[in-house]
Amino acid sequence: MVTDFIYNDIVLHSKGWLYKNGDMLDELGYLFSKIYGWKPTTEKQIAPMMLKVLDELDVKVGRHRSLYQWFSEIYNRMDLFDVSFDKAIILYVRSELQGLSKEQIKLNPPHYGKKEYFRMGSLFGENPISMTYTEMNRRAQKMFT
């Protein structure tokens, strides 16, 4: 099981726990800026960082994938979603992170508050804006304990 993963918040974002404005590149850029100290803004800058996340995860779980496996999945997403190569990489890594189970990775729960950048997200639509931070934190703690 992976614990204390440096990219914890990237996984949380992929799983829908973090939401700001729905601009995936902006939100991922912000999360990477917290790790690396500078904010990537384009698909071309974010895509290799996402591959680094996946590579780091694979090393921690002892999984070895060939480049062929990655590229075939990425090219499938390019065709399916009619997106650029870089965007397909981002979508592929997000789907891999989204599929991680509690048995594979122990995530640190998100914290929501007035001064925090993100609100509670959702994979299926948006949570009501009227949900209090207390309720968001209660739900997160319940899921992560």
8 Å CB contact between 33 and 117: no
8 Å CB contact between 133 and 114: yes
Measured in whole angstroms, the distance separating CA 142 from the mean position of its chain's CA atoms is: 20
Count of residues in the chain: 145
Q: Where are the beta strands (DSSP E) in the chain?
A: 18-19, 119-120
- pTM of the model as a whole: 0.90
Q: Per-residue pLDDT for 25 more than 80?
A: yes
Closest CA to 117 of 46, 31, 25, 47: 31
* pLDDT for 124: 62
Structure tokens that stand for 103 in this block: 């048995």
Which contiguous run of DSSP H or E holds residue 98?
Answer: helix 85-98
80 by DSSP, 3-state: which?
helix
Measured in whole angstroms, the distance separating CA 48 from the mean position of its chain's CA atoms is: 14
Average pLDDT, the chain: 91
Measured in whole angstroms, the distance separating CA 98 from the mean position of its chain's CA atoms is: 7
Q: Per-residue pLDDT for 20 more than 70?
A: yes
Query: Please, what is the Cα angle at 20 between 51 and 7, to 5 degrees?
Result: 30
Structure tokens that stand for 109 in this block: 């729960």
φ/ψ of residue 42, rounded to 5: -110, 160
Q: Per-residue pLDDT for 71 more than 90?
A: no
Q: What is the tens place of the pLDDT at every residue in 93-131? A: 999 999 999 999 999 999 999 999 998 887 666 666 778
Confidence of residue 64 (pLDDT cuts 50, 70, 90): confident
